[in-house]
Amino acid sequence: MLHGKCSFIDPEGAEMAKKGDIVAEFLGQNSHLEQWLESLAGECETEKQWRARKEFILRNMESFPNIQPGNSSRSLDQLLSLSMVWSNHVFLGCRYPQQVMDKITGMAEGIIVNDIPLRKTRDEIIGKGIRKNSSDLKIASSQVKLNSRGQDSSRNGSGTSKSQGSHPDTQHAHKDKSLKNVRSSSNEGSHVAMKCGPSPQAPKEYQAFFNRLYKAVAWKLVSAGGFGPNLDYFAILQACVESSKSSLTCIFVPLKEIPDLPSTHSQQEGLVCELRCRTVYLGTGYGRGEDSAKAMAAREALKVFQGRKVTVKICKRKYHGQDVEDLILQDDQLRNSGLPPALSYPFESEHQDLGNINL
Partner 1 sequence: MGVPAFFRWLSRKYASIIVHCIEEKPKEYNGIRVPTDTSRPNPNEVEFDNLYLDMNGIIHPCTHPEDKPAPKNEDEMMVAIFEYIDRLFNIVRPRRVLYMAIDGVAPRAKMNQQRSRRFRASKEAVELTEEKSRIREEIFQRGGYLPPDEVKERFDSNCITPGTEFMDNLAQCLRYYVADRLNNDPGWRNITVILSDASVPGEGEHKIMDYIRRQRAQPNHDPNTHHCLCGADADLIMLGLATHELNFTIIREEFKPNKPKPCTLCGQLGHEIKECQGLAREKQGEHDEFADTPPCSEQEFIFIRLTVLREYLERELTMASLPFPFDIERSIDDWVFMCFFVGNDFLPHLPSLEIREGAIDRLVGIYKNVVHKTGGYLTENGFVNLERVEMIMDAVGVAEDNIFKKRKEDEEGFKRRMKEKKKRMKTEKPAFIPRGQFAPQPLGGRGRPQPINNPRQAAYEMRMQERNLDNRPQSLMSSHDKNSTSPSPAVKRKAEDSDSEPEPEDNVRLWEEGWKQRYYKNKFDVDVSDDAFRRRVVKSYVEGLCWVLRYYYQGCASWKWFYPFHYAPFASDFKDIKDMFKEFEAGTKPFKPLEQLMGVFPAASGNFLPLTWQRLMTEPISSIIDFYPEDFGIDLNGKKYAWQGVALLPFVDERRLRAALEDVYPDLTPDEIKRNSLGSDVLFLGKHHPLFDFVCELYKENMMEFVDIPPELCHGIKGTVSLDENPILPGKLVESPVPMLKDIAMNNAVGIEFKDPQYHEGFVFKAVVLPGAKVPPKVLKPGDWDNSNQRPWKPQLGFNPNRQQVHLSQSAFRTLSHNMPRERTRDGAYSNAPPPGTYHQPGPNRQQRASLAPPAQYSRQPASLLGPMPGYSQQQQQQYSRNYGNEPSLGWNRMMQSQRSAYQQNQQRGPGWSSGYQQRPNDLRDERGRQGYNSGRNYPLPPASGRYNWN
**Counting Cβ atoms within 10 Å, is residue 267 exposed (0-12), middle (13-18) or buried (19+)?**
exposed
Query: For partner 1, which is the closer residue by CB, 115 or 242?
Result: 115
Q: Nearest distance from residue 331's CB to partner 1, in Å?
A: 12
Query: Which residue type, as a one-letter code, is found at position 71?
Result: N
Query: Could you count the other beta carbons within 10 Å of the beta carbon of residue 132?
Result: 23
Query: For partner 1, which is the closer residue by CB, 144 or 296?
Result: 296
Whose CA is closest to 184, among 89, 49, 112?
89
Query: Could you count the other beta carbons within 10 Å of the beta carbon of residue 56?
Result: 25
Q: Nearest distance from residue 252's CB to partner 1, in Å?
A: 15
Distance CA(34)–CA(24), nearest Å, equals: 9
Q: Nearest distance from residue 277's CB to partner 1, in Å?
A: 19
Query: For partner 1, which is the closer residue by CB, 9 or 235?
Result: 235
Binding site for partner 1 (CB under 8 A): 42-44, 46-49, 72, 74, 77-78, 80-82, 84-85, 88-89, 91-97, 99-100, 103, 117-123, 125-126, 128, 186, 229, 262-265, 267, 284-287, 292, 296, 299-300, 332, 337-338, 340
Beta bridge partners of 249: 276
Query: For partner 1, which is the closer residue by CB, 47 or 166?
Result: 47
Q: Nearest distance from residue 352's CB to partner 1, in Å?
A: 28
DSSP per position, 46-62: -HHHHHHHHHHHHHHGG
Distance CA(236)–CA(230), nearest Å, equals: 12
Q: Nearest distance from residue 92's CB to partner 1, in Å?
A: 4
Query: For partner 1, which is the closer residue by CB, 21 or 332?
Result: 332
- At residue 284, φ and ψ (nearest 5 deg) are -130, 140
The answer to whether the CB of 341 falls within 8 A of the CB of 319 is yes
Query: For partner 1, which is the closer residue by CB, 49 or 322?
Result: 49
Query: Could you count the other beta carbons within 10 Å of the beta carbon of residue 150?
Result: 9
Q: Nearest distance from residue 89's CB to partner 1, in Å?
A: 8
Distance CA(253)–CA(358), nearest Å, equals: 18
Distance CA(345)–CA(251), nearest Å, equals: 10
Query: Could you count the other beta carbons within 10 Å of the beta carbon of residue 32?
Result: 10
Q: Nearest distance from residue 339's CB to partner 1, in Å?
A: 9
Q: Nearest distance from residue 164's CB to partner 1, in Å?
A: 26
Query: For partner 1, which is the closer residue by CB, 179 or 216?
Result: 179
Query: For partner 1, which is the closer residue by CB, 5 or 119?
Result: 119
Query: Computed from CA positions of residues 141, 142, 145, 151, in that sequence, does the dihedral angle turn out positive or negative?
Result: negative
